[in-house]
Structure 1
Amino acid sequence: MPSSSFPLPDPPSSNGPPGLPREARITAALIDLADTLVDDFDPAEFLYRVAEHCMDLLDIGDAGVMLAVPGGPLRLVAASSERVRLVELFELDASEGPCCTAFDQAVPVDHTLNATPSPRWPRFSTRAHRTGYTSVHATPIRLRGDTIGVLNLFRRIPGSLPAADRHLARALADATAISLLQQSTLDQHRTVRAQLEAAMATRTIIEQAKGFLTARHETDPDTAFHRLRAHARHHHLRLVDLARDIVNSTTTLPPPPDTDKTPTPP
């Protein structure tokens, strides 16, 4: 049942040292996104970092990344929270919304959400507003002359995305496209299509692992995913490899501290 109040803002991003000036964080983010020329490049982890950098640098409440193989439909490959993931999946299923228009027309799209459904995207605007979002900015990810995806930026405070943030979103989208292209040149047998298909395929495995951890440890999907990523980083594992091992029951994550309770004696 929809609520009349908006959800609490997300906590500050943990990207980079606390208190680092915004200009320095922008530089660090662009350098991080450019660092893809490695043998063990993990496209899934890379795209989640794109969403994290958007959260850290832009005045937004949530971010999503969608990609499409040439000639194929848009698919969600990374999201900053379970809340926005469900809205993005609804948008794709309804085939309407700012991201679809930004992708089809290769132009940025701003859209304000309010209690009155938008005639342009009635189902999407109703769902997004009920979830607590006040506006959406969709920036196409372009690779040379082709549009390969969209950055979707959701706000939960009044007002559209500031102009400076729109320009920075464009830069992050360009950096994402360039990084995917330069990584694909490491091997002449690997193509942009293969990179995008790999990123989309890993998303399915990661969602399965997230659902497994959510059910096993009786936690929420966001907490399950953050623990999955933290374990992969701590043990220097590829996110998709860890997710696959969890789904196949060859790896088990310990329960979070608050679920490891000692039974109360009768």
Structure 2
Amino acid sequence: MPAPAPSEPEPRDPNSPSLSHVMRVSAALIDLADTLVADFDPADFLYRVTEHCMDLLDIGDAGVMLAAPKEPLRLVAASSERVRLVELFELDAQEGPCFTAFHQGATIHHTHLSTATPRWPRFSARAHQAGYCAVHATPIRLREDTLGVLNLFRRTQGPLPEPDQQLARALADATAISLVQQTTLEQHRTVHAQLQQALDSRTIIEQAKGFLVASHQTDPDSAFHQLRAHARHHHLRLAELARDIVAGTTTLPAPTTPAQTTGRKK
């Protein structure tokens, strides 16, 4: 009896995610859940959140804003210097989709930054001038408490694709759970202290970036890349290394190759 002919492969659904994408999503969620360690670094953790967003979502840049209880919203991580300046402008102006998403505790879409809107006129003009065409802001929430906002900036008009919206929600939820989970591990610390540490860390990191920009004649993105690479290579906390650089007790060598930006284009 002849062997049966091999069956035709099932046609692939063009809307289904590829296996490699599914594996990257799984790895990202596992990475964000891995906070129960003695040397947990909230500053580095929040920058990893932006990196996962850049890797998995159809966006040009990402940022994370957090607020300690009864404290104002503050920027704690950004994927590039360009988006950092836009986010700081938004906080200073107290208008924009990210600011609104935090205070309303709801996802906000702003899909046409080139079109004047009475809701956020100054933010829209500033973001569009920086090269962004749309913003998707997802609150970082744990039950009824809003801890911050995950801000996703696109360089093309239109809403974030629905699968990416769902994944952004999952990444925001994982961020909230991980921050509170780490706080619970150390009973003497509170959510307020955990968030405050992340906020304080950003200040010293920005100071160290400025120091490297001036001393190495490089750009802010390259300076941060060098700072973080050195911290990881030597198993140092990002904020502690930044503090030593500002204090002058640690010196990083000047880059041996021309500065390159680390932003990802879509």
Whether these two folds match at TM > 0.5 is yes
Instruction: Say whether the 8 Å CA contact 1:113–1:133 is kept in structure 2.
Output: no
The residue identity in structure 2 corresponding to 1:35 is D
Instruction: Say whether the 8 Å CA contact 1:217–1:259 is kept in structure 2.
Output: no
* CA drift at 1:170: 0.3
**Corresponding residue for 1:216?**
215
The residue identity in structure 2 corresponding to 1:168 is L
* CA drift at 1:198: 0.3
Q: Deviations over 1:69-119 (max 9, x none)?
A: 111110000000000000000000000000111111111000023433211
Identity of paired residues, percent?
Answer: 74
The residue identity in structure 2 corresponding to 1:66 is M
Once the two structures are superposed, the pairs formed by residues 115-264 of structure 1 within 5 Å of their partners are: 115-258=114-257
- The size of the alignment, in residue pairs, is 242
Greater CA drift, 127-136 or 250-259: 250-259
The residue identity in structure 1 corresponding to 2:195 is L
* CA distance in 1 between partners of 2:139 and 2:38 (Å): 28
| SS state at 2:248 partner | coil
* CA distance in 1 between partners of 2:19 and 2:70 (Å): 42
Q: Deviations over 1:5-53 (max 9, x none)?
A: xxxxxxxxxxxxxx97000000000000000001110000000000100
**Corresponding residue for 1:4?**
none
**Corresponding residue for 1:76?**
75
* CA distance in 1 between partners of 2:155 and 2:166 (Å): 20
**Corresponding residue for 1:60?**
59
* CA distance in 1 between partners of 2:255 and 2:19 (Å): 30
* CA distance in 1 between partners of 2:93 and 2:236 (Å): 36
* CA drift at 1:145: 1.3
* CA drift at 1:147: 0.4
Q: 1:136 to 1:35 in 2, by over 3 A?
A: same
* CA distance in 1 between partners of 2:168 and 2:113 (Å): 23
Instruction: Say whether the 8 Å CA contact 2:102–2:148 is kept in structure 1.
Output: yes
Q: 1:115 to 1:158 in 2, by over 3 A?
A: closer
TM-score by length of 2: 0.89
Greater CA drift, 251-260 or 118-127: 251-260
TM-score by length of 1: 0.89
Q: 1:245 to 1:109 in 2, by over 3 A?
A: same
Could you list the runs of 4 or more consecutive aligned residues of structure 1 that deviate by over 6 angstroms after TM superposition?
none
**Corresponding residue for 1:23?**
22
**Corresponding residue for 1:85?**
84
Q: 1:167 to 1:259 in 2, by over 3 A?
A: closer
The residue identity in structure 1 corresponding to 2:198 is A
* CA distance in 2 between partners of 1:258 and 1:170 (Å): 38
User: Which of the pair has more CA radius of gyration?
Assistant: 2
CA RMSD of aligned residues (A): 1.4
* CA drift at 1:185: 1.2
* CA distance in 2 between partners of 1:118 and 1:85 (Å): 22
